Amino acid sequence: MRTFLSAALIVLVALLVPASAVAYWADRRLGDADGYTAAMAPLATNPAVQGVVVTQATRALSGQIDAGPFQGGVDALIGEALRSFAGTPAYRTAWDAANRAAHTAFLDALTTGHGDAVTIDLAPVIAAVKGELVADGVPFADRIPETHLSVEVMEYDDLGALRKGFRVLQIAGVWLPVLTVLLAGAAVAVAVRRRRAVLATGLGIATGAVLLGVAVDVCRRLTLDDLPADVDRAAAGAVYDALTAFLRTTTWVVLAIGLATALTAWLTGRLRRTP
């Protein structure tokens, strides 16, 4: 019975490893403004994401200026100014501000149940670009009014289910990783042959890490395949990779811990048999 109980706990640990990682990620990354903003910050220098921002912002700004016969030239100047601005520290600051605002909107939607999508308001980016255009003496740039440009980053059909699921993950994010560690210790403690139990537990942890990595990759393919045809796949993939970077890193760290534990237990057994 002790052997069967130990084996059952090891299987449970393998299943809880990916669940624990996702719960912690939801609580400490998606649920935390600083964590979310930090995860999205590298996208400020991603060419695909910059291309989407520049294209959308150029269209928005061009629509705010009536330059008559000079419209084509003004549009070209705006596009060039945006491309140049996208590589500056001011752009990165504006990008972070936009993402922090998007995170606030996301949490507000989960809390109040209002809305069916999460968007990034690029108003901070456009305001900064306007200042650059005016400073560079671009004609008619001072006529640009305050402009809000919303770029949709997430759409959901059942907000109620999403809100409940996210709340469960936030609660589990505190306790589930602790429970997983305790169950791994219990699997070794109740075993008759503890060295073998340590080896099996290490392999179970490594298996859980593999399951996590596979789940992240499968969800990536499903997410991108489900996007509308007019959405930039490269930019969407970059956003997904940025948001799930923590899970990918966790996959490799937990895999290394599990394999190291199993290898240590195996080597210990071999050394004990050596005369």
Does pLDDT of 99 surpass 70? Answer: yes
Q: Is position 38 within any domain?
A: no
At what angle are helices 233-243 and 33-40 packed, to 10 degrees?
A: 140
The C-alpha atoms of residue 211 and residue 98 are separated, in whole angstroms, by: 34
Q: Is position 36 within any domain?
A: no
DSSP label of 29: I
The token pair that represents 235 in the structure block: 């930019």
The pLDDT > 70 percentage for the chain reads 84
The C-alpha atoms of residue 104 and residue 144 are separated, in whole angstroms, by: 27
Type of residue at 259:
L
Residue 123: give the domain boundaries: 46-158
* Whether residue 223 sits in one domain with residue 172: yes
Mean pLDDT in the chain? 82
Least confident of 1-15, 150-164, 207-221: 150-164
Type of residue at 24:
Y
Residue at a domain's end among 100, 133, 158: 158
* Whether residue 206 sits in one domain with residue 191: yes
- Tell me what pLDDT residue 186 has: 93
* Whether residue 60 sits in one domain with residue 143: yes
Rg of the chain (C-alpha set):
25
Residue at a domain's end among 158, 188, 209: 158
* Whether residue 149 sits in one domain with residue 99: yes
Per-residue pLDDT of 4-52, as tens digits, reads 999 999 999 999 999 999 999 988 888 888 888 888 899 888 988 888 8
Per-residue pLDDT of 165-175, as tens digits, reads 777 887 788 88
Alpha-carbon 247 to chain mean position: 8
DSSP label of 151: E
- Number of domains present in the structure of the chain: 2
Q: Is position 274 within any domain?
A: no
Its pTM stands at 0.79
Does pLDDT of 274 surpass 70? Answer: no
